[in-house]
Structures are given as C-alpha cells and as structure tokens.
Structure 1
Amino acid sequence: MSISHFSATVWLAFLLVIALLALVYVLVQRRRTRRVLQFSNMELLESVAPKGPRVFRHAPVVLLLVGLVLLTVAAAGPQATKKVPRNRATVMLAIDVSLSMEATDVPPTRIQVAKKAGKDFVDGLPASINLGLVSFAGTASVLVSPTTNHGAVKAAIDNLKLAERTATGEGILTSLQSIDTLGTLLGGPEPPPARIVLMSDGKQTVPAFEDADNPRHEFVAARLAKTKNIPISTISFGTKWGTVEIPREDGSMQRVKVEVDDAAMQEIAKLSGGEFYTASTLQELSKVYDTLQEQIGFETTMGDASRPWLLLGLLITAAGVLTGLLYRQRLP
C-alpha cells in the first residue's frame, strides 16, 4: 500500500483528534487506577478484582483507534502509481525471415525460436493493443494489418517462410505505412501512440549497406520513424558463430557464416529514439519480449489508492467492536 501523495490532506488533521482520544483514554485509566488504590483493604480488593490479564482489556480501544487511523488515511485520498493497459496504441512486429534464420546456433533454429518467443510476446500484450505483423527478407510484406485480433497475428507467425536477402529498411518503411494507414482510419486530432519492434539476425543486403543515401536504407528509414515519433525497439538475435548452408551454382552446398549485426541494430534504435536489445537464446529473447511488454502494453498512471486503507480500517474497527462486546459485554 505505497502512497505517492494525498489528494485531500486536510483530512490528515483528524489524526490529531485520534491522538487526543488516545491521550484521554490513558488519563482516564490512570485516574481510575488511583481511585482503586484508595481502598485500604487490599485483601478484599484482590478477592473482587478480575483474574484475567489486565493488558487485554485495552485491546478493544487500541483496535478502534488503529481503525480510525486507517480510515483517516483513506479519507485523505491516498494516490499511488498504477500500471494500466494502454488503449489505442499500435505495435508493428517486424521479423527478419532471411535464410540466415535457418542457423542452428540458437537450437533448434533461429526462426523456430523466434516464432515461439514472438507468440509469447503477443500473448502478453493487452487485448486493446492494435498489433500488426511484417516479415521481411529481400522485400517486406504486411502479413497482418494492425488489429486487436491477436490470434491472427499468432497464426501468421506460425506460417512465416524464409527467403533470400535482407531488406531491413523495407521492413521499417512497410511498418510505418501500416501505422499511417491505421491512423487515417481511426481519425481523431492526433494519431495513437505507436512503436515498431524489429527483430533481425544479420546485416542489410538490399540496398547495399554502403549505399547510405538510398531512401530504402535502414538508417534513412529509422530517421523517418523519428520524425513521425515512432520509436523502433530493435532486437539483434543470434550469435557471432552462426552458419547456414547455401547451394552453389553447381548444386553443391557451401557453409556461410551468418553473424549478427549488433552495430546496425543499435544505430537503428538510436536514430529512431528506441531501445536496443540482444538475444542469443530462447530465454534471453523471451526476457527481452517481457521487457517490451511492460514498456509497450502498459503505462504508469496516478490513481486512487484509498480502497485497501478503507477496507482494512473497516475490518480493524469491526474487530475492536467485536472484541469489546465479547470481552467486556459492552463497547469500550
């Protein structure tokens, strides 16, 4: 029952009244004790005095005072931070499906682990989130437009197919287009908050990474996302020692190293105002997605926190009344 501040602090002044009541009770008890001691026949006093524990007789009053304190705190309107599901937010999940995702450095394969973690990520998002899915290899495709039907997104993740080359910039631009389209359909004075979650395991090959001025380049697309106030959370997935087998023209197979490109993923996140993550196991990828669920799916707001104080105050006050009736057959 943490408290950040109170909305009606004037009610806290009632704590002084409670303190005064406690003081009056103590004074009355002392005065009563002095009167009892005026009896000269102590043997007679001991014979008529109750044999029960003397401390317990104060329990009803103590419970009532504690209950009043808790009710006073509730009346003062305690405020606390709360996590609530976001409404109208849009999330585009962009997943790299280039052939390098066949690498087995993340067993059984990168793509299989990506599918499992991706579906778990979808399950953890609030139902009110508009979620879409984009896959990209040599080109990018919108598999699911932003929707609250998260089951459709999970089904599309299950059906991801691998293809040649990697066009990371296309994945970003296609995600931005889907977000813009949804914003147009929803209308309103301003578009809903949006974010792209981009997972890739390798370096961009389309267009050439060195062609930094190409409008389809991943860094150019990241800057565009920044101007639209759409941060990109990037996940660099895989290891430095991953390999895949690629067929040669003569039909034989050659083993090619497909190491992750952390530097490019980090730069995309930086340029767009997002966050950069790395993962090389299912556990690490799931942990990254859990973090993103908290950031994307929920927001921290200030809200009323008086209910626990009110309920506890009522219970303790009722306990004080009951104790007084059972122990002394009357209220204190």
Structure 2
Amino acid sequence: MIYDWLQNIKFIWPENFIFLALIPFLIAQYVKNGKQGKSAILTSGIQSKIPGTFKTRFRHLPFVLRLIGITCLVTALARPQHQKDMSRSEGEGIDIMLVMDVSGSMLTQDIKPRRFTVAKEVAIDFVKNRPTDRIGLVIFSGEAFTKVPLTPDKATLLDQLSQLKVMDDGYLEPGTLIGEGLATAVNRISKGSSKTKVIILLTDGKEDAPPTRIIDPGMALEIAKANRVRVYCVGLGVSEFTEEQVASGVRNFLDEDLLKRIASETGGQYYHAVDKTSLQAIYNQINKLEKTKVEVIRYKQTEEMFLPLVLAALGLLLIEVLLRYTWFKRFP
C-alpha cells in the first residue's frame, strides 16, 4: 500500500536535489571538528576511561537531527506532489424500466438454481453496465408494484434487486398480471425526461388475472404505443421438459404470442431464454441496441506534499537547537 502511494509521488522541481550535496560537506566538517576537540588525559602509565553516559552516547543526536531536517527541507524545495489518475463518466443516458415477474412459477428449477435467481443475477449485471442511465424497477404477480422509480442511484436499485423475493415476500397477490405490470412501468417511464424510453419485460408465464384486474395486456400495449415506449420482452423457461421435470409438476405456460406482439408493435424485440447463458446474451444484445452517449473524462488529482516536509524540517531543526543549547551544551 505504501509502495503504491510512493509510486504516485512526482517532483516538480527535481533539480533542487542538488542541494543535498551539502550533506557530505557537513559530515566531513563535523568529523574534522570532532577530532580537533578531542583531548586525552595521561597518568603515570595508566590511561583511564571515562564511563559512558546518556549524554556521551547520544552526543551526535543534534547533528543527525540537523541532517534529517536539511534533507526534508531540500525535498520540500523539489516540490513533491501526490498524483492520482481519476476518471468519471459523463453522457446522455436513457430511461429504462425493468419489469420482472415475481409470481410463484419463477421458483421453478428448470433453469438452475431457479428461474428467479438467474433473472435477478443477470438484471444486476445489466444495471452495473449502464452507468449514465436512469433505471427503475416494477414487479408483478397478481398485482403490479413499483419497487424503484426511475433513478440514477444505482446503489439503491442494486440493493433492491438483491433483496427481491418471489411474490415480494407475501406482499403481492398470486397470479400473473403482465398487462398491469407493463402499464405501471409505462406510467412511470412516461414521466421521464429522456427522449428514449425502454422497458424490459421478463416473465415465465401468461396472463393469469384475478377478478380485480383493471388493465389487460391489450390495453397496456396501446398505452405503451401512445407513449412511444419501446418494449423488449423476455420469455424465461426451457422449451422441453424431461420426464422427471414433468413428474415433479414443471410446466411451461409462456404466452410467446402475446410477448411477440407487444415487442413487435412497440418497436422492440422478443427473446426466449432457456438458461443463464442465453439470458445473459439477451441482456448483452439489448445493451448494445440501446446505446448511450458516454464520455469518459480522465484527469489527475494532485495533492501538494511540500508543507508537511517543511514543518518536519522546522521541527527537527528546532529540536536540534534546543538540545544543543540545553542538554548537550558545551562549556569552555
């Protein structure tokens, strides 16, 4: 981590490092003065040694502090900067509403581990790849509900997608109201400011309406066309089942004719996903068809680093002076 940080340090005036040439000169002068100041006391045949004290052991400390202080000061004169490459994305996004079926049949395991689990994972990846778009989420089973209105806040949307459950954890009635899910999404997206409005409707069934239904798929289609909303329909589920799956009650109620009609008449396309790989390919294709104008702007974030070095140098030199004239003071 420290190595990576140091890798981004740049010196604006590196020629000032020439002043470090003073360091060897100061060391040589210090050694010369030390030799001249030495004295020896001779006795009759016995040379006594003075016991070492804290003062004698650390007598070079003020000079070392002076050298470090000068080094910090010269480094500050070289004007170090910490430069970090940064980037941000700017552009004109589009408005997208994800409409997801959360009916009980989405727990079917013909697509491992479950249809619903795969649908969530692929939708999350799709959202992550649309940095400048406003995206919302509508869910439906026996009724439709706006989980997340159109928003540029991807963190909130991703959090809601990750926590999403079949039947919205019991808050929605059983059934499959494709029409009301589509109409709810059109109502939300029609209020957006973008010129391009797209709905991605994913379901594994057909219209299974309770008596409380208000809008049927035909009416929802007309509403989408009137608001010039392009609808991409995705049918989820395998086309053929094994004997084991049939025995366990797995069925395919997918109304492909309805989904094809909705997609065709709104200018979108219909896709059929039979596994996670094919569903990812579908979302990738939609991602390419509905391109946004994205411009990646790169810049450097620069932080001046000379001030801490100057303060350190002044602090060290001040300590050196205090020690020299107090603890390590020499008397004639």
**Under a length normalisation based on structure 2, what TM-score does the superposition of the two structures give?**
0.54
Q: Secondary structure at the match of 1:118?
A: helix
Counterpart contact for 1:239–1:259, Cα < 8 Å: no
Which one-letter code corresponds to 1:131 in the other structure? I
Aligned to 2:149: 145
Deviations 1:143-196 (A, max 9, x none): 11111111211111112222221000111111111113334xxxxxxx532110
Number of paired residues? 196
Which one-letter code corresponds to 1:147 in the other structure? T
The match for 2:94 among 89, 100, 103 is 89
Pair 1:136 & 2:103 matched: no
The match for 1:107 among 108, 112, 121 is 112
- For 2:286 and 2:131, how far apart are their aligned partners in 1? 12
Counterpart contact for 2:134–2:151, Cα < 8 Å: yes
Pair 1:238 & 2:237 matched: yes
Identity %: 28
Structure 1 or 2, whichever has the larger Rg, is 2
Pair 1:168 & 2:189 matched: no
- For 1:272 and 1:242, how far apart are their aligned partners in 2? 32
Aligned to 1:284: 278
- For 2:235 and 2:255, how far apart are their aligned partners in 1? 7
- For 1:95 and 1:195, how far apart are their aligned partners in 2? 14
The match for 2:129 among 124, 133, 136 is 124
Which one-letter code corresponds to 1:216 in the other structure? I
1:140-219, aligned counterparts within 5 Å?
Answer: 140-163=144-167, 164-183=174-193, 192-206=195-209, 216-219=215-218
1:239-318, aligned counterparts within 5 Å?
Answer: 239-241=238-240, 255=249, 257-298=251-292
- For 1:234 and 1:280, how far apart are their aligned partners in 2? 14
- For 1:155 and 1:279, how far apart are their aligned partners in 2? 25
Compared CA separation, residues 264 and 152, structure 1 to 2 (3 A)? same
Counterpart contact for 2:175–2:210, Cα < 8 Å: no
CA RMSD of the aligned region, Å? 2.7
Counterpart contact for 1:94–1:172, Cα < 8 Å: yes
Q: Secondary structure at the match of 2:176?
A: coil
Query: How big is the shift at 1:86?
Result: 5.9
Q: Secondary structure at the match of 1:93?
A: strand
Where does structure 2 lack aligned partners over 5 or more consecutive residues? 1-88, 168-173, 243-247, 295-332
Counterpart contact for 1:86–1:297, Cα < 8 Å: no
Runs of 4+ aligned structure 1 residues displaced above 3 Å come to 240-243
- For 1:273 and 1:222, how far apart are their aligned partners in 2? 12
Counterpart contact for 2:108–2:250, Cα < 8 Å: no
Counterpart contact for 2:176–2:206, Cα < 8 Å: yes
Which one-letter code corresponds to 1:148 in the other structure? P
- For 1:271 and 1:278, how far apart are their aligned partners in 2? 18
Query: How big is the shift at 1:207?
Result: 5.8
Query: How big is the shift at 1:87?
Result: 1.3
Counterpart contact for 1:202–1:259, Cα < 8 Å: yes
- For 2:196 and 2:155, how far apart are their aligned partners in 1? 22
- For 2:166 and 2:241, how far apart are their aligned partners in 1? 16
Which one-letter code corresponds to 1:276 in the other structure? Y
- For 1:265 and 1:124, how far apart are their aligned partners in 2? 25
- For 1:266 and 1:86, how far apart are their aligned partners in 2? 32
Q: Secondary structure at the match of 2:183?
A: helix
Compared CA separation, residues 119 and 215, structure 1 to 2 (3 A)? same
Deviations 1:3-62 (A, max 9, x none): xxxxxxxxxxxxxxxxxxxxxxxxxxxxxxxxxxxxxxxxxxxxxxxxxxxxxxxxxxxx
